[in-house]
Structure 1
Amino acid sequence: MVGNTSANASVRTQINWEVIFVQILVFAFLCINTMMILTFFTRAYFYTNIRYILFATSLLSDCLMLIVTNALLILSYSRTAMPLSLCLVFFVVSSVYGFVTPVTLTAMTLERYVAICMPLRHAQLCSKLRALWCIFIIHGISSVPCVLILLSFFAPATQNLLRKFQICAVHQFTSQTWQIDLRLGISQTYFLIMCLVIMFCYAKIMKVAKAASGDNKKSSRKGLRTVILHGVQLLLCLTQMWCPFIEAAVLKISFVAFNTVRFSNYILFYLVPRCLSPLIYGLRDDKFVLALKYYALCDFRRNKSLDLTR
């Protein structure tokens, strides 16, 4: 009994430190993303440019995803049960916005392809109106996997299922083997399509970079680095879709190992990809960094001119 009590106390201490560490990271990332979102809305140059509109979309998606997944993490660690109807809301948001970020990254890669390889048509193809339609399409594409998974879950379900209380977890909605195969098939299909798009854009931009000179060559090389970073970020984002299945398998073996694996997955595949967005399109963009420094050092309420069009 003493040994079991000591082991349980050790696990609880480990969980407490993990939760505290995650809260610090989430708070830091949310603060950075919020500052960048506020910077985006302060200048017309940003919210009329498709590049920055898509960037802001990814930031908002990341913030919502972090808030929801962090809430689920806390509820899971505290072993708090909830009705399945409430868990369904968490699942829909996390599922849809789990795809919004990688789909947005793919759209941002295509925008870089058009800007570098088709500069004369960039203004026509990447207007503000088309950016708004692009956001609707991104959310529509991202909702398809969630709809299919829920249809597969509720088809054989009973009427009282939504009233059932239990600890909320994503794998609850894919409990059958064929449902797991369906979700993996959808994730792999999305992953394959997005990878093909990124590789296509990389090859085309590489071709332009080799033929370019001067400022055009510099811009093309920067576009290549951006596409590569998008590829890494996309890989991490899509890997998170495998996490629930890995965690469910580990839980059957050991609860201690389950907590360790879940904590590692959350850091590597939820937090890291979402801290790359500010790095790729925020801190690497000269105009955005200029505006960010300006409004960080000054005050968002002060009306001072800042010319970003040059």
Structure 2
Amino acid sequence: MADNSSLIGGESLQQQINYRVIIVQLLVVIFLCINLLLIATFFKKEFLYTTTRYILYVVTLLSDSFILLMSDVLLILTFFQITMHVWLCIIITVLVLLYLMVTPVTLTAMTLERYVAICMPLRHGELCSTRSAINCILIIHSLSSVPCIVVLSNFFASASLSLYEQHSLCLCSVEIFILFRWHDHIRSAVHQIYFLIMCITIVFCYFKIMKVAKTASGENRKSTWKGLRTVILHAFQLLLCLIRLWCPFIEAAVLQINFRLFINVRYFNYIMFSLAPRCLSPLIYGLRDEKYFLELKKYAFFGLYNKKY
């Protein structure tokens, strides 16, 4: 009787997992299509690909699209219990770790761009030129690679040479780099420092823009308050990314209590703190920005939509 109960429970859990994997596939496909449409629109208009805020915006779209795609691939590999060589898993995980940081760092850079545009309008053209945007992208990737380098350094210093040649018996995930508990503590500490600096930067920009918004008038006031709302959305995205860092600790604690609860919590964390922050980017500039949205509608309707200026 106990065996039958456990079998039924196992089948129920498997059906639940199947259902959730299908939902994730639908969400990923929908948002990848939206992102690709936004990226294609960006390259169609010169004023989009020569404006700093739109250039940084597309960096987040590319980063988010990559993370959506790779996280979905890893999810499917996990679902079908597919293993791979450790060296291949290391390459994939390094790229995932890098681009997990690129999005929040770029969000911070976009917040600084809004700060310069609103609080230092006379210097905006000089500080936020197309050339400056390219340099900014290089700086963003350099800063984003530091946590990845720290994790890799700890891993390579602790792992044996035979580990790179063996066929991984465990599924490919970021946890492959966590050979000792102190590895996880160092990784968490580096991420927390990064996010603390980014949070301070966003809060600073928020209060500076708020100060300008109170003294602005007319069209400037409307533009300033819109910039302030954008900063708030960036802060919300950053908060979701920050919470994602705490998820492994929560999941590890829940796993000790109940496996079914662990599956539910991990699925919720994946949707809320991995997919949701990546899906907010199209809303912030792609749909809220009037110029971008206008070009998006023209491109989406194959030029049939036209608006008289």
TM-score normalised to the size of structure 2?
0.94
Question: Could you tell me which of 258, 261, 265 is aligned with 1:261?
Answer: 265
Query: Which SS does the other structure have where 2:159 is aligned?
Result: coil
Q: How many residues align?
A: 305
Tell me the equivalent position of 1:59. 61
Q: Which amino acid aligns with 2:31?
A: F
1:241 Cα deviation after fit: 2.3
Distance 1:238 1:36 in 2: 26
1:144 Cα deviation after fit: 0.5
Question: Could you tell me which of 278, 283, 288 is aligned with 1:279?
Answer: 283
Tell me the equivalent position of 1:180. 184
Using a 3 Å threshold, how does the CA distance of structure 1 residues 161 and 248 change in structure 2: closer, same or farther? farther
1:305 Cα deviation after fit: 9.4
The answer on 1:107 being equivalent to 2:109 is yes
Using a 3 Å threshold, how does the CA distance of structure 1 residues 252 and 77 change in structure 2: closer, same or farther? farther
Tell me the equivalent position of 1:293. 297
Greater than 2 Å deviation, 4+ residue runs = 241-258, 304-307
The answer on 1:270 being equivalent to 2:274 is yes
Using a 3 Å threshold, how does the CA distance of structure 1 residues 251 and 90 change in structure 2: closer, same or farther? farther
1:71-82 matches, within 5 Å, as: 71-82=73-84
Q: Which amino acid aligns with 2:49?
A: Y
> 1:113, 1:205 within 8 Å by CA — same for their partners in 2?
yes
Instruction: Extract unaligned runs of 5+ from structure 2.
Output: none
Distance 2:241 2:75 in 1: 18
Q: Which amino acid aligns with 1:176?
A: F
1:306 Cα deviation after fit: 8.7
1:139 Cα deviation after fit: 0.6
Distance 2:254 2:70 in 1: 23
Deviation string 1:99-126 (CA, Å, 9 cap, x unpaired) is 0000000000000000000001000000
Percent of aligned positions that are identical: 54
Distance 1:127 1:59 in 2: 20
Q: Which amino acid aligns with 2:211?
A: K
Distance 1:235 1:27 in 2: 25
Using a 3 Å threshold, how does the CA distance of structure 1 residues 76 and 252 change in structure 2: closer, same or farther? farther
> 1:80, 1:167 within 8 Å by CA — same for their partners in 2?
yes
Using a 3 Å threshold, how does the CA distance of structure 1 residues 69 and 265 change in structure 2: closer, same or farther? same
Query: Which SS does the other structure have where 1:81 is aligned?
Result: coil
Question: Could you tell me which of 45, 48, 51 is aligned with 1:46?
Answer: 48
Tell me the equivalent position of 2:143. 141
Tell me the equivalent position of 2:156. 154
1:252 Cα deviation after fit: 4.2
> 1:171, 1:244 within 8 Å by CA — same for their partners in 2?
no
Q: Which amino acid aligns with 1:131?
A: A
CA RMSD of aligned residues (A): 1.8
Distance 2:268 2:4 in 1: 29
1:86 Cα deviation after fit: 1.7
The answer on 1:22 being equivalent to 2:28 is no
